[in-house]
Amino acid sequence: MARQFSPALLQRDRSALVVIDMQERLMPAIAEGDAVTRAAGILIEAARHLEVPVVVTEQYPKGLGHTVDAIAGRLPNDAAVVEKMTFSAARNHDFASQIDDFKAGGRDHIVVCGVESHVCVMQTAADLGAQGHAVHIVVDACGSRAPASKDAALARFGALGISRVTTEMALFEWLEAAGTAEFKAVSRLIK
């Protein structure tokens, strides 16, 4: 008899990481922005070690600046950076093409972090979920200017059936087991 495993758990070969709008003029205003940046950086480093593709969005970079150095400096060389004007990245052609490419390659678990939780993260996640993707919001790697706005977004994600995970949940689900070289490299990120 074949064993069944939970389809709700993240699988690295089915995952892609989306980093939303962690930009120079936004991050200083985000509540607990340093902690959000740290958690997102850990996700990016783990994605790089585990060959999970990464796409980054920048909302109106002419006005809001580019991705903060603490994030940009950790991105894999093949990470796509998509400039957008739409609040939902899913409504941007270049981003949608990246997601379509991921899905065509069997990557239908979209792991999302970034800012602001109640605007661009929320709208992107809602649209991706409506398109049939398994969306996983990394709650400790998301932020808003006001904590109440993040709280409202988290409640709405739940109402929409969007999975909420932490950075460590994502990492250990991607890893699946201890005792490997990958485990040693990734577990160092959270010490």
DSSP state of 2: P
Contacts (Cβ under 8 Å, ≥6 apart) of 25: 63, 64, 65
Tokens at residue 35, please? 């902690």
Q: Is 120 a catalytic residue?
A: yes
Token pair belonging to 82: 């998509």
CB atoms near residue 62 (< 10 Å): 8
C-alpha span between 21 and 24 (Å, rounded)? 9
Nearest to 39 by CA among 79, 69, 76, 70: 70
Q: Which of 42, 36, 80 is nearest to 175 (CA)?
A: 42
Given the residues 113, 120, 127, 140, the one annotated as active site: 120
**Residues annotated as catalytic (active site), given as ranges:** 21, 84, 120
